[in-house]
Every structure is written in structure tokens, then in C-alpha cells.
């Protein structure tokens, strides 16, 4: 019977160690997160410090007695599926070790892993704002065309429809944005962003502080902030915004109440802003020549959306 107990302990030691290594290699080589990598390496070392690794006990290992040995594992659908599966292996393995060894260290480690699972998976789920064009519209057909052009992000910004109508639009475009792998951002209505499971929310200076929006949306959602001054941009960055809008640079019909801010803020942004910043306000192919020297990672287009293919080719083509 003692040998059978060893089989259980040995199998779960291997299960936990292997799961930790899979996730550690992801954080080390793919997400390049040094903090998560060190935490996972620490857990592996803690695990092996609890292990009785004597030769006499290793001799007792007998995979022929394991009725599930060499089972073909399920194919992982994507990186999230892979991470979830390996975290479950770790957590379940730690629970078994806790029960069969009576060692409370496994219990403490399991709860630490629960927190790490939340942080790593949610951060992995969060989409990134890639360099390129950020398309803003209240017209679903235009946003769908943007997906076909492979824009960096699309934003549903509708100042005229009812909330019910906006929600219906959001639900429709979210399905296509998800399939295309392009972030969908909702403007103005955080409840709609949550209901349609949008990838992010764009806020203005009059909205709640970024910290409060983060508490509502969670760490896995993109939060943007409109800014008109360098101070507002730096403040948004400090508060945890994922990107900021800089503008309106030129007079625009979409924000007639705001005076254009010109190019001075955009000129300084590269020296002070480390998160993506989006140039917005009557951005056109002609105006791109004036702002390209300041290297905005992203430009937002509204009325001039038909010029997106030309802008992408001329200013954001990797070729």
C-alpha cells in the first residue's frame, strides 16, 4: 500500500512540476515577463525542496501500474486554453499532494497559484494596440470594412442612436472583431462595453478616473483616454491608461465644440509618453505628411476612412 501512495505522490509531483515549467516557458520566452517567470521558478524550487528524491523511492516508480500512462493529450485550441489547462494540472496536483502527504505547504502554494493564474491569464487575454490606423465610426459597415483592411483597432462611437441600438451594433461587430483578432473599443458607454464583452473602453476627461474604470472593467481590458495637453497625457499614463488620444490636432466636425490643439503636444509626446498615443482630429492622407515626423504609433480616422489602405501602405507597411 505504501508503494501505491508513492505512485500517487510521484505522479502529482511530476504533474505540478511539468505544468509550472510549461507556464514558466511561456512567461519567459513569449510574454517576456520577468516577474512572472521568477515567481514560477520559485514555486518549482519550493516544490522540489519538499520532494523526497532518494534513489530507493525512485526505484518504486512503475508507470506500468498507471492505467492512464501515455494517454494522448487533448490538443490545445490557443494559448489561453494551454495556460488554463496547465494551471488546472498544477492546482489539482497540489491538492492531491496536500491530501496524501498532509503537508500544509502544498495548500499555501495552491492559493498562491490561484492568484498567479488570474494575473497571467487575464494579462494574456488583453489585446494590444498595434501601430497603424484606429478606425472610429458609428456605421457598422464602415467598421466591418476596417476589419478587412486589418486596422489596429475599431471604435464604436455613436452620439445619436439609442443605447438599445448601440448595444445591438456592438454585439454584431464584436463577433466579427473577435474573429479578426482586432480590438473593439466602445466609446461613452461602459455598460455597453461590459455587456458586449468589448476589448476596451474609451474615456474622456470628464469620465471616472482610470483607476475606477480599471476596477470596473478588470485588468484584461484596454482603457483609452482623450487628452488635449501633455499634463493630461502624463496623468492618464500614471493612472494606468493603455493608450491616450492626442487631439483634436486639426478642426474636426466630430468634435466641433473643441478647438484644435495643433502639433506642439504631439511633438513632445515621444519624450514623455511611453504608452501608445493616437493622433486624432481631421487625420487625412494629406495631413499624414505633417505628423509622420513625430512618429505617432497610431492615427485615428473617422471621415477619411476610405484613405486607410493608402495610409497603411505608405506609413505603416512593414515592407
**Assigned C-alpha cell, 184:** 473593439
Q: Are residues 81 and 137 in the same domain?
A: no
Q: Which range of residues forms the domain containing residue 89?
A: 2-125
Mean pLDDT of 102-124: 96
Q: What angle do CA 176, 179, 184 make, to 5 degrees?
A: 60
- Nearest to 280, CA basis, from 265, 302, 258, 259: 302
User: Could you tell me the pLDDT band of residue 62, with boundaries at 50, 70 and 90?
Assistant: confident
C-alpha to C-alpha distances, 235 to 185, 225, 305, nearest whole angstrom: 21, 10, 30
**pTM of this prediction?**
0.85
Spatial separation of the C-alpha atoms in residues 300 and 278, rounded to whole Å: 6
Number of domains in the chain: 2
Q: What is the pLDDT, as a whole number, of residue 70?
A: 78
pLDDT > 70 in the chain, percent? 94
Mean pLDDT of 18-22: 98
User: Could you tell me the pLDDT band of residue 73, with boundaries at 50, 70 and 90?
Assistant: confident
Q: Are residues 75 and 147 in the same domain?
A: no
Q: What's the chain's average pLDDT?
A: 93
Q: What is the pLDDT, as a whole number, of residue 253?
A: 78
Q: Are residues 295 and 173 in the same domain?
A: yes
Q: Are residues 177 and 242 in the same domain?
A: yes
Mean pLDDT of 268-282: 96
Residues 227 and 246: beta-carbon distance below 8 Å:
yes
Q: What is the pLDDT, as a whole number, of residue 51?
A: 58
Spatial separation of the C-alpha atoms in residues 69 and 82, rounded to whole Å: 20
Residues 187 and 172: beta-carbon distance below 8 Å:
no
User: pLDDT tens digits for 184-223?
Assistant: 999 999 999 999 999 999 999 999 999 999 999 999 999 9
Q: Are residues 115 and 153 in the same domain?
A: no
Flag whether pLDDT at 1 surpasses 60.
Answer: no
Q: Which of 71, 93, 125 is the last residue of a domain?
A: 125
What's 227's domain CATH number?
Answer: 3.20.20.70
Amino acid at each position: 500500500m505504501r508503494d501505491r501512495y508513492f505512485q500517487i505522490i510521484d505522479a502529482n509531483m511530476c504533474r505540478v512540476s511539468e505544468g509550472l515549467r510549461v507556464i514558466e516557458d511561456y512567461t519567459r520566452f513569449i510574454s517576456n515577463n520577468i516577474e512572472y517567470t521568477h515567481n514560477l521558478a520559485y514555486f518549482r524550487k519550493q516544490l522540489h525542496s519538499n520532494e523526497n528524491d532518494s534513489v530507493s523511492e525512485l526505484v518504486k516508480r512503475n508507470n506500468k501500474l498507471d492505467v492512464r500512462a501515455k494517454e494522448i493529450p487533448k490538443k490545445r485550441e490557443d494559448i489561453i486554453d494551454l495556460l488554463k489547462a496547465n494551471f488546472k494540472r498544477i492546482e489539482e496536483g497540489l491538492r492531491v499532494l496536500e491530501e496524501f502527504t498532509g503537508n500544509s505547504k502544498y495548500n499555501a502554494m495552491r492559493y498562491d497559484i490561484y492568484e498567479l493564474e488570474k494575473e497571467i491569464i487575464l494579462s494574456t487575454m488583453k489585446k494590444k494596440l498595434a501601430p497603424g490606423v484606429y478606425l472610429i465610426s458609428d456605421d457598422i459597415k464602415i467598421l466591418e470594412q476596417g476589419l478587412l483592411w486589418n486596422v489596429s483597432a475599431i471604435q464604436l462611437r455613436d452620439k445619436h442612436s439609442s443605447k438599445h441600438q448601440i448595444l445591438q451594433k456592438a454585439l454584431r461587430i464584436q463577433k466579427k472583431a473577435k474573429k479578426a483578432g482586432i480590438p473593439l473599443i466602445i466609446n461613452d458607454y461602459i455598460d455597453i462595453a461590459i455587456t458586449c464583452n468589448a476589448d476596451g473602453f474609451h474615456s474622456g476627461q470628464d469620465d471616472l478616473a482610470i483607476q475606477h474604470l480599471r476596477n470596473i472593467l478588470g485588468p484584461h481590458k484596454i482603457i483609452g483616454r482623450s487628452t488635449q495637453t501633455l499634463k493630461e497625457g502624463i496623468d492618464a499614463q500614471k493612472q494606468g491608461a493603455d493608450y491616450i488620444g492626442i487631439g483634436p490636432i486639426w478642426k474636426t466636425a466630430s468634435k466641433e465644440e473643441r478647438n484644435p490643439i495643433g502639433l506642439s503636444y504631439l511633438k513632445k509626446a515621444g519624450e514623455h509618453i511611453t504608452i501608445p498615443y493616437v493622433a486624432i482630429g481631421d487625420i487625412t492622407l494629406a495631413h499624414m505628411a505633417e505628423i509622420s515626423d513625430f512618429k505617432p504609433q497610431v492615427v485615428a480616422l473617422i471621415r477619411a476612412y476610405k484613405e486607410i489602405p493608402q495610409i497603411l501602405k505608405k506609413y505603416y507597411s512593414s515592407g
